[in-house]
Structure 1
């Protein structure tokens, strides 16, 4: 494979030249880090990891270095409970109040880069996070309103503690496969990740990021882009039954509100098959619920953290398989605007095919205001076998409407089966609740439910149910400026 940075081809160094064994028994992170440091001191180049099995704790990526995983190369995350070592400690960033532990630290990772530029990781090898943990403490926000999905409401303190252990238990452990902070001009391409911990990839404050041709099959989040700009995710396949596959965030992890802007996600497939069965090709479907006790996840999402807002986002020609649908969520202040979604195919949708939610959690410092959603265009979306409980949803608040939304050439096919009692339901406002399509329960419409919206334009909407459904296909409550062309069609 050609280097992501042609200048890096001038110097190529094999990690075995610095003592790496690749036998799956001896720890190789020391040798790999020596190689990276030597290449960086020389002005940059390519570090080659040849065929072999490299057991590692933290690997520190540096500027002007490409890390190339050759065919047959496996970097395996070591387990501090079994191997003589530990991951780099999480940074002391002070009290992290407004996002969880995983979002707030980077160095406690298998591979990390902090403040670097012109660096790359390329394939076709495998990163196996066998010794990583998917867990970490939640946010320490005193108010705690809307901290967890309503589907977790009945979980005991002991069950929550299993998912969110105390911070003291995290020292020495790693919970991300790849983490990048305040970096510039980064390329990730051509490799695979199996079991990537809390995040297979966390990129925070990165300007100029290309992620392409990756295959990720993991137990929690796949690709998280937080406060990034000028980024592209292309031709990736991401399987995450327990959490989101590709998610954009704009949290306060870097100490201030920073927008995520100028991001394109294109030609990607996201899914919620049993973990590991996308990479092995079996695509099994035995898991029904994610750890939040809602159905399997695996989607593309903007949110939940939204303090800095989102601008100029494009999601194009992507496929959703056996997972929740597209979610655009603003509950912590910030503005979401100029989001264009087009050419989307969905099959076996486990919640709503699309979910636009403006809420009022306001997880942030004093003075955090209400957010806004405006300038959203969704076109060419075709979804089949959608869970009958959850219509496509646009839901603002009475005081703050979702505004300026275009729906064009939308085709939605539901399983059907809603009852007359379902049609009478009027969901609570739940202004400060964690946003999820299931938060409102079974909806009173089966195709499209809108509440507290303004200037919604529908141009071509086809709705079908496999079984009869007693609810109306469309319900609009407090929607001003609703216009419809090519009158909606629906069939049962």
Structure 2
């Protein structure tokens, strides 16, 4: 039988004025001392600095309960960021966990459940970048036109982070974790950061925030289901494999299903207005709000499944490895996309190599994507499958793909630049020379059953292949009311099948 402990019995007030985190922490410790139990947060506004989780304890927010992040100042501050000797290759936010509204470190059998709200009102969404001296590929290419002052605002000094909280929930080296039925608003840099967490279940969360939604870094045996996440300025669900734990640890055995991600104005998913007044993310590209593997990718990714998910007013699906890790055995199916602000598909193996000297480039092997339908896709960017010279993306199969681009673009002259050490985004290459699919440095790619269309006539060819060894086309239909070539090939070996213009 579960032991329930009410935070009011430990001095919590819930008036939105009193700092209640000391009382909540006493309640959590009391539950832990009893061998475990559930800590109840009843209806009310509970103003907090850092809340520290404990093993075998569930933090439960009743309906009407709001844990609100306090503004640091005379009333108090968040726990300081703990020392991390492994903070060279990833940014400040990924390198620390204790400087958060709710955090757990080295715990087992923990849970945060709803239906209450976690409101990150007093959190910051900013943080310093990586200390890596080369600084290659830190800012996306789309930010090249921003002023030094604007870039500095995105990359504050570490001293400015003292006392600040920059994550709603942060978990490190935990196992058997459940996050269920909670709503998170204004989650800071990350609404949820889970690093080195095994056996993680995330179910029915609603997140509407100004930066990342779920950041799952070096996790294993993870299930994310039935979540709705709105993140116009950053990624909604993103898997990473950084060096924050001091080792190249693979993110593996992850299942993401029945989730909806989007890029409406911040806060407008939760209030039901779904506003569209913002038209750019801070990196000056279109709204983000997507599912992504990468950018931090030192340890790589293995055995990832994404199915029955919807993207709306967001960037498309991104599978990236740029820091030396391998991306293998990724299966994606039954995806619906609407109003896509960059490329619908971005499968990219780069060589940014934000990693110890001598780290070789990683690669991509074994990607299967089936039953994907995308409409109203940004006309600048075809779907992209690209590796590096000598390090091709291999063994990719796309089947039952239906993508409709807006079209209306003129023909383009000039080669697509190679930018192996750039921050990976579809816009890094500029507008594509093809409207449907651009493939470069790839091998053994099969496309079986695809319809690529434009809503308006487009002056570019549909498909552009460069340095491809083994491209197998079956039943590819092109719909573009312009007299253009269906296919351009440059250094292509082993092309079989045909496309139907």
The normalised TM-score by structure 2 is 0.95
Shift of 1:95: 6.0
- Does the aligned pair in 1 maintain the 2:333–2:369 contact within 8 Å? yes
2:469 paired residue among 480, 486, 491: 480
In the TM superposition, structure 1's runs of 4+ consecutive aligned residues that sit over 6 Å from their partners are none
Shift of 1:397: 1.2
Q: Helix, strand or coil for the counterpart of 2:55? A: coil
Asked if residue 451 in structure 1 is aligned to residue 436 in structure 2, the reply is no
Shift of 1:59: 0.1
Asked if residue 26 in structure 1 is aligned to residue 18 in structure 2, the reply is yes
Counterparts of residues 290-329 of structure 1 (less than 5 Å): 290-329=281-320
- Does the aligned pair in 2 maintain the 1:425–1:443 contact within 8 Å? no
Q: Aligned residue for 2:42?
A: 50
Q: Helix, strand or coil for the counterpart of 1:202? A: strand
Question: In 2, Cα distance between the equivalents of 1:94 and 1:479?
Answer: 42
1:37 paired residue among 25, 29, 34: 29
Counterparts of residues 86-485 of structure 1 (less than 5 Å): 86-94=77-85, 96-420=87-411, 422=412, 424-485=413-474
The normalised TM-score by structure 1 is 0.97
Question: In 2, Cα distance between the equivalents of 1:347 and 1:426?
Answer: 30
- Does the aligned pair in 1 maintain the 2:86–2:245 contact within 8 Å? no
Shift of 1:491: 3.6
Q: Aligned residue for 1:4?
A: none
- Does the aligned pair in 2 maintain the 1:473–1:490 contact within 8 Å? no
Question: In 2, Cα distance between the equivalents of 1:10 and 1:174?
Answer: 31
Aligned alpha-carbon RMSD (Å): 0.9
Question: How far does the alpha carbon of each residue in 1:54-88 deviate from its partner, in whole angstroms, 9 at most, with x for none?
Answer: 0000000000000000000000000014x510000
Question: In 1, Cα distance between the equivalents of 2:297 and 2:322?
Answer: 7
Structure 1 gap ranges (5+): 1-8
Shift of 1:163: 1.4
Question: How far does the alpha carbon of each residue in 1:206-259 deviate from its partner, in whole angstroms, 9 at most, with x for none?
Answer: 010000100000000000000000001100001000000000000000111100
Question: In 2, Cα distance between the equivalents of 1:381 and 1:211?
Answer: 24
Structure 2 gap ranges (5+): 482-501
2:76 paired residue among 68, 85, 102: 85
Question: In 2, Cα distance between the equivalents of 1:374 and 1:490?
Answer: 30
Asked if residue 10 in structure 1 is aligned to residue 2 in structure 2, the reply is yes
Further displaced range: 342-351 or 474-483: 474-483
Q: Helix, strand or coil for the counterpart of 2:24? A: helix
Question: In 2, Cα distance between the equivalents of 1:487 and 1:117?
Answer: 50
**Greater strand fraction, Structure 1 or Structure 2:** 2
Q: Helix, strand or coil for the counterpart of 1:37? A: helix
Question: How far does the alpha carbon of each residue in 1:351-407 deviate from its partner, in whole angstroms, 9 at most, with x for none?
Answer: 000101111111011221110101001110000000000111001111110000000
